[in-house]
Homo-oligomer: A and B are copies of this chain.
């Protein structure tokens, strides 16, 4: 294991000079000749600085912690892609944590980020509005901030007292509702996701507001926030008897589940029932009928979050504009 001392010795300079030559400390310069000697010694020895040692000597690490619920979900993986890209551009490594939707685990992961003295924490998606759960999370975050002095960004959930960026859930859903009404649809069911899930709540509320008095919501069906949740919820809708014109699922993976449920029941989308989602995940483009949705710039969301924490762009909660995308699944 070659250390900086080895490099210094090989170059015939002191440890300090070697250090300065290699990472070019500011306010100190090392003569070109020495620098060159050091650099080539490092090259010859294939020296790689010990990140942990640097972190401890400098008092700050170069890692960014990213916490998601499920990395196989296209929503999260798209955001993760944006985060890794931006982090890499900023010279940070990303530590990936997967909660598997377990709040306990989320807290454990935040604590782990604290242990790593991460330069930044990006927490993606899906908070509950359960008071005690939220308080626990908040205090874990507070401790992280206090211990590391670094910033935290929430993606998709501007509920806690930290920087955050989120899609325009409410207004996007409202726009979607209006577009569907304009198309002539007049009865709706909403697959709301978990009852305590804030994103689901916002999208549900926005959708209802957009509907105004022009149309009615016949059913609100809660379920888990994933594909199987959408599938199950849709089966409930179908079992209930009278079908609405359009079923709005608060996210795309749920909408996909709903679509499959409809198909399995022999229903033709959009003839028998329309389906709409939210997010515009990449996988959507391969399913038929093409799903109406609200496009959220997911990768961008991740990049912005990194900017928020790394560049210290403290603009308060950011809301990212979204756009309604009407496709075949709600054709009339």
* A117: B residues at CB distance < 8 A: 50-52
A90–B88 Cα gap in the complex (Å)?
26
Within 8 A of B (CB), among A34-56: 46, 48-53, 55-56
Can you list 19 contacts pairing A with B, beta carbon distance less than 8 Å?
A48-B114, A49-B115, A50-B117, A51-B117, A52-B52, A52-B53, A52-B116, A71-B81, A71-B84, A72-B77, A72-B81, A84-B96, A93-B112, A96-B96, A263-B288, A283-B283, A283-B286, A287-B288, A288-B288
Interface of A is mostly: helix
In the assembled complex, the CB of A47 is this many whole angstroms from the nearest CB of chain B, namely 9
A95 touches B98 (CB 8 A): no
Q: Which residues of A contact B (CB under 8 A)?
A: 1-2, 46, 48-53, 55-56, 61, 63, 66, 70-72, 74, 77-78, 80-81, 84-85, 88, 93-98, 100, 111-112, 114-117, 143, 147-149, 227, 256-257, 259-260, 263, 282-283, 285-288
Q: Tell which of B50, B84, B95, B288 touches A56, judged by Cβ atoms closer than 8 Å.
A: B50
In the assembled complex, the CB of A136 is this many whole angstroms from the nearest CB of chain B, namely 13
A172–B1 Cα gap in the complex (Å)?
42
A46 touches B143 (CB 8 A): yes
A52–B112 Cα gap in the complex (Å)?
12
Nearest opposing residue in chain B for A80, CB measure: B71
Q: Copies per complex?
A: 2
A56–B147 Cα gap in the complex (Å)?
20
B286 touches A259 (CB 8 A): yes
A69–B287 Cα gap in the complex (Å)?
24
Known contacts A94-B95, A259-B286; A116 and B46 CB within 8 A of each other = no
* A49: B residues at CB distance < 8 A: 115
A286 touches B256 (CB 8 A): yes
In the assembled complex, the CB of A97 is this many whole angstroms from the nearest CB of chain B, namely 7
A61 touches B52 (CB 8 A): yes
A48 touches B96 (CB 8 A): no
A192–B150 Cα gap in the complex (Å)?
47
A46–B2 Cα gap in the complex (Å)?
36
A46-B143, A287-B288 provided; 19 other pairs, C-beta below 8 A? A1-B147, A46-B147, A49-B115, A50-B115, A50-B117, A51-B52, A63-B95, A66-B96, A71-B80, A71-B84, A72-B74, A72-B78, A72-B81, A80-B96, A85-B100, A88-B97, A257-B286, A259-B286, A287-B287
Nearest opposing residue in chain B for A55, CB measure: B52
A116–B256 Cα gap in the complex (Å)?
40
A95 touches B97 (CB 8 A): no
A260–B56 Cα gap in the complex (Å)?
52
Q: Tell which of B51, B78, B81 touches A116, judged by Cβ atoms closer than 8 Å.
A: B51
